[in-house]
A and B are shown apart, each in its own frame.
Chain A
Amino acid sequence: MWTTKTFLTKTKRGNVLKIVREHYLRDDLLCGSAACNVCPHKDDELVLDANPESICGLFDYNHYLVLDTNVVLHQIDVLEEDALKNVIILQTVLEEVKHQNTAIFQRLLEIIGNKKRNFYSFVNEHHKDTYVERKPGEKQNDRNDRAIRKAASWYASHLSIKNMAERFPQIVLLSDDENNRKLAQEEGIVACSVKDYIENVNGYAGLTDKLSKNVIPESCSKDALYPAHLTPTQIHAGIRNGKLHQGTFHASRDNFLEGNVTVTGYEKSILLQGHIGINRAIDGDIVAIEIFPQEEWRQPSDIVLEDKAEDPGDFLEEESQLLNTKKTVANDDICPTGKVVGIIRRKWRQYCGILMPSKFPGATRHLFTPAEKRIPRVRIETRQSDILASQRILVALDSWPRNSRYPLGHFVRSLGPIGDKNAENEVILLEHDVPHARFSEAVLACLPPDDWTIPEEEIKKRVDLRSICVCSVDPPGCTDIDDALHARRVGDRYEVGVHIADVTHFVRPHSALDREAAARATTVYLVDKRIDMVPDLLSSNLCSLRGGEERLAFSCVWEMDENANVLSTKFHKSVIKSRAAMTYEEAQIAIDTTSRNDEVATSLRTLNALAKKLKQRRLDNGALLLASPEIRFQVDSETHEPLEVQAKRILDTNSMVEEFMLLANVSVAERVAADYPQSALLRRHPAPPPANFHTFLKAARRQGFELDVSTNKSFSKSLNEAVIPERPFFNTLLRIMATRCMQQAVYFSSGSKTQEEYYHYGLACPIYTHFTSPIRRYADVVVHRLLAGALGADATHAALLDARAAQALCDNLNYRHRQAQLAGRASVALNTHILFKNREEIESAVVLAVKRNALQVLIPKYGLEGPLYLPSDKFLYNEEENIQICNDIILKTFDELTVRLTLDSTNLQHRKLVFQLVTPFIPGVSYEKEKADDDKMDVEIVEPKTNVKKRKEVSEPKKKKKSKK
């Protein structure tokens, strides 16, 4: 059945160690070709076509392609195009790629997994005829090349066996390694370089643009602009003897010739300046640096420096002019300074940006400006510059040779026209690393059929709550309803139930769907788009607790007394049938309409009454009521253009739902933490360090309020007391600013922290988790599984108990949540910009903070925030008092102003809102307009509009306040 052979390898691991590994060679591995007459293929194992049509002008016969490792590593963008088909990926190549670059490896697997592409991975290393042993003294690379050639020639001869017809496919080896090609040709294998092959491909325009221009960076010593990097061995030796240091390079946002590296052993991060100092490092790279002697240390320049617009060609500017080189003596600002001497690991990704076409018509070399300011411009080659100039494009970096001022890259794909809604959204998603590709076939295969109904046996296993009057309350337009509630009187007590969509019934552990959801971690809400965590069928149909439909749920049912004290808690899986899916508004009306006495209305009234008691108790315990300026857009139903923006309204019913969700989360957290002391997924909110409050307290003191921030309870109390009756917005403003002082709440695994550290500062509860939104958060999915395992309600699986895996999961969840939040904000900013295009407004604003050269102002009406720049020649900044003074006008925090809002579109990639001062009037600074507008400038706070427009309000992200906590 199998043949065996053992082989020896020698590896060095500190001291020389001889490692002996078995290596089995098999005779039952298939070639995967439909043209083969030898291998006992089953139908589904045939991957390669019998008659692969040639698309390349160089080869007029049928052929399969065998790729060398360097082709996969450098030209993955070409491979991802649909052009090349019938490709054999050898295991040797697969392993080398995996070893060198996991990201590319994943992309390669994705291609192999795509049935339409006919990529076959052949296990040549374990095939008895294609295995090659490493010769004594032979380099690993040379052996692998030999293995690739051997497999190629084996394929050629294998396919010719018993193939009478002359039409059987030939083999073409693609390699960028000249030496390998030469040797292949000597052995009678047809070999070709990728460049030659792709340039002769017919019918796929634009394929050549994706060719990577890979130059070995250190080879071009002629006309070198940059000093050479050290070799890995030199770097290793340098780090070991302490001459060099390793760290991650962070480019400065404001000055393209500056960056810093955080190094262990130095308190301050190391400053790097100038082209030579940075020496081709790109933001995020792990670099080796040399630190200069102390007398050469400098201070970071405080000027803003942007790369010039035109392509200056390959020379470096005189840096002394660009950089602030003057050396200040004995200054606190002086940083340890150094220079990059080598790159340990590139952390390049693909970058979004726009093309700056060359001034010469017909030129193919152009510059590309990334949207991220920290990334240098990239030189790319394309023939489609006319089309691409008006588009947002995605570019991958290839290399940065010594003789090139800019890194070299290649065009990957176009995202759409600049300013187009979809293209801009795509940019936001890509720049925030939000996985947003369509769900793969494997994921969709995990879904139940569209017309799935609850099978009878499933109902038998669950508690049947279909007869109970359950209803859901959500924001308008919400399609992923993951929670529903009920309350009823039982004797002198109340029975209250929270029913959460049973997502884990469909998302089974270890399935492709589960892995995809875990990777996405959360649904991302943009203003006009939602990027689902689970496919639409689940999120807005089978899992969504829609009104009048039978749905599976995970229920948490309490018994409560009159005062909302929990007497007992039950968890169970259930079947429910929601009576009504209401909006907050509708629920509020149902409660307020005293004439309504139906089941739903009574249930809601009970819930509302209990929620108020719960809330009071929570606040008494020291929970903070924080505020953040959340805004909502009214979006045109046709064009998806934002029409109007206003601050969010909070109704009683919002807080009603929130209270019960909090209670459910706390109940579940207690249960899972007790059952899984090592691996429960919980959420904590650390208390903010006192230093965070410093400026906030100072500002409040000037308004006459002494806030006590020692505990959350005292803080909450003093916030409640800080009210100015004639300024109703003042308290909200305080709370908004208090929110800024807080730390982020994070997920963690119960084993990684001590019991005291579980505390949730904002909610003032000793333990907390997320249970109530499994459709849009993966954390809740995990908690559902944990709870189901604890109850024996569902099959458990081993990963639930793995503390290490749980922590890794938490790290990913935290990262994705942060990115999702940032993406959401970026989307709001984008829509604000679209809204203020060709429009100006004069609005009242409040000063949130005073900076050296600007005021941070908030416009309560829109919840917009931004800097109002003050010219330094007119204003005097008082650091002590934190105020800006201009003659007799003093601007300080909490001041009310009127400002004018316009959009500055001079920089297409970084459009921003411009705030200009209107009142108090300062000549030469304030914006002046014709006198007619004077009476408009009232300093009264405009309350958020309450009239709901008839326009359809699409896509209000269902983001409850609790998700912020």
Chain B
Amino acid sequence: MPGPDLLSSQGLRLDGRRPNELRRIRCKLGVFTQPDGSAYLEQGNTKVLAAVYGPHQASKSKSSVEGVVVNCQYSMATFSTGERKNRPRGDRKSQEMSLHLRQALTAAIKTELYPRSQIDIYIEVLQADGGAYCASVNAATLALVDAGVPLRAYACACSASMAWRGAEPAPLLDVGHVEEAAGGVVLTVASLPSTGNIALLELSHRLHSDYFEIVLSRAMQGCRDIEIILDRAVREHLAEGWTKQDIVTI
């Protein structure tokens, strides 16, 4: 059981957040010019870059008449964690991450619009401080928006964990590295909040079914909060973009 240490007696978490608060999210769309769409997203100290290429014609082996093939590649920078470590591309962990990303993003993209084509999404984690998957999904969503790929809804991901304040269960939203390392269960949810659909659900350890509901609902709440933040960022970016273009045309 993750100890009550995760919550102080005043109900604050180790970093000073309350249980239902997200970390600070800062994001920017269109950070690169080369890819068709790109985004940079910070969730606390987790910092992620996403780039989107496509849709473009799919290679023959991958091509599907059903719809677009989403191709994800997740990698972590050597300097992303405290201990510097050479991280080969395509190791088991990042392969798994790539697959999970693909699952969440395929759910969001209107794949049926582009048969026989492919979209490549590259994710680079610059700094990892817990919740890298969530930040990756959120960044990729922004990059897809930036690339102009039609989406059903924003795909947002958020994690939640379990803690107790006294006898009261108090699920923690948006789990950071310190809280992850404390050994608690982490539930990661990728969802399309505006439709209420869940695209991916992952549990790091066993969680007792009694608490599953409250942890899930907290994570879903987090997804909804993130959607608002992403939406605002997109709108700001678009507003910014127009004015920039205006300047260019003048």
> Residues on A close to B: CB < 8 A?
1-2, 4, 6, 17-26, 91, 109, 112, 121, 123, 125-126, 508, 510-512, 514, 795-802, 805
Bound complex: CA A166 to CA B10 (Å) = 31
Q: Which residues of A contact B213 (CB under 8 A)?
A: none
| Contacts beyond the supplied A18-B82, A512-B166: 8 A-B pairs with Cβ under 8 Å | A22-B15, A22-B23, A23-B15, A24-B17, A24-B24, A796-B208, A799-B1, A802-B1
Instruction: Report if A2-B21 is in contact (Cβ < 8 Å); known contacts: A19-B82, A796-B208, A798-B210.
Output: yes
Check A123–B17 contact: CB distance below 8 A: no
Q: Which residue of B lies closest to A17 (CB)?
A: B82
Q: Which residues of A contact B12 (CB under 8 A)?
A: 123, 126
Q: Which residue of A lies closest to B14 (CB)?
A: A21
Check B167–A512 contact: CB distance below 8 A: yes
Interface check B198, CB cutoff 8 A: no
Bound complex: CA A22 to CA B15 (Å) = 6
Bound complex: CA A805 to CA B4 (Å) = 14
Check B210–A4 contact: CB distance below 8 A: no
Chain B nearest CB, measured from A93 CB (Å): 13
Q: Which residues of B contact A511 (CB under 8 A)?
A: 167
Q: Which residues of B contact A514 (CB under 8 A)?
A: 167
Check A796–B210 contact: CB distance below 8 A: yes
Check A798–B1 contact: CB distance below 8 A: yes
Q: Which residues of A contact B206 (CB under 8 A)?
A: 798, 801
Task: Tell me the residues in window 117-153 of chain B with beta carbons closer than 8 Å to chain A beta carbons.
Answer: 129
Check A805–B1 contact: CB distance below 8 A: yes
Q: Which residues of B contact A126 (CB under 8 A)?
A: 12, 16
Q: Which residues of A contact B211 (CB under 8 A)?
A: 798
A-B contact pairs, 17 of them (CB 8 A): A1-B21, A2-B17, A2-B21, A6-B45, A18-B82, A22-B176, A24-B24, A112-B9, A123-B10, A514-B167, A795-B210, A796-B209, A796-B210, A798-B211, A800-B208, A801-B206, A801-B208
Interface of B is mostly: loop
Q: Which residue of B lies closest to A11 (CB)?
A: B82
Bound complex: CA A844 to CA B173 (Å) = 74
Bound complex: CA A511 to CA B164 (Å) = 11
Q: Which residue of A lies closest to B24 (CB)?
A: A4
Q: Which residues of B contact A799 (CB under 8 A)?
A: 1
Interface check B83, CB cutoff 8 A: yes
Check B10–A25 contact: CB distance below 8 A: no
Q: Which residue of B lies closest to A511 (CB)?
A: B167
Interface check B207, CB cutoff 8 A: yes
Instruction: Report if A23-B178 is in contact (Cβ < 8 Å); known contacts: A798-B1, A799-B1.
Output: no
Q: Which residues of A contact B115 (CB under 8 A)?
A: none
Q: Which residues of B contact A26 (CB under 8 A)?
A: 16
Most chain A CB atoms below 10 A, which of B1, B16, B23? B16
Interface check B8, CB cutoff 8 A: yes
Check B1–A24 contact: CB distance below 8 A: no
Bound complex: CA A98 to CA B124 (Å) = 39
Check A121–B9 contact: CB distance below 8 A: yes
Interface check B44, CB cutoff 8 A: yes
Check B10–A121 contact: CB distance below 8 A: yes
Check B16–A24 contact: CB distance below 8 A: yes
Chain A nearest CB, measured from B224 CB (Å): 16
Bound complex: CA A940 to CA B209 (Å) = 67
Task: Tell me the residues in window 1-53 of chain B with beta carbons closer than 8 Å to chain A beta carbons.
Answer: 1, 8-10, 12, 15-17, 21, 23-24, 44-45
Q: Which residue of A lies closest to B44 (CB)?
A: A22
Bound complex: CA A797 to CA B167 (Å) = 12
Check A20–B167 contact: CB distance below 8 A: no
Bound complex: CA A561 to CA B240 (Å) = 87
Q: Which residue of A lies closest to B178 (CB)?
A: A21
Q: Which residue of B lies closest to A802 (CB)?
A: B1
Most chain B CB atoms below 10 A, which of A26, A112, A512, A799? A26
Q: Which 9 A-B pairs have the closest CB atoms?
A: A798-B208, A24-B16, A126-B16, A4-B24, A510-B167, A22-B15, A511-B167, A22-B44, A17-B82
Q: Which residues of B contact A123 (CB under 8 A)?
A: 8, 10, 12, 16
Check B82–A21 contact: CB distance below 8 A: no
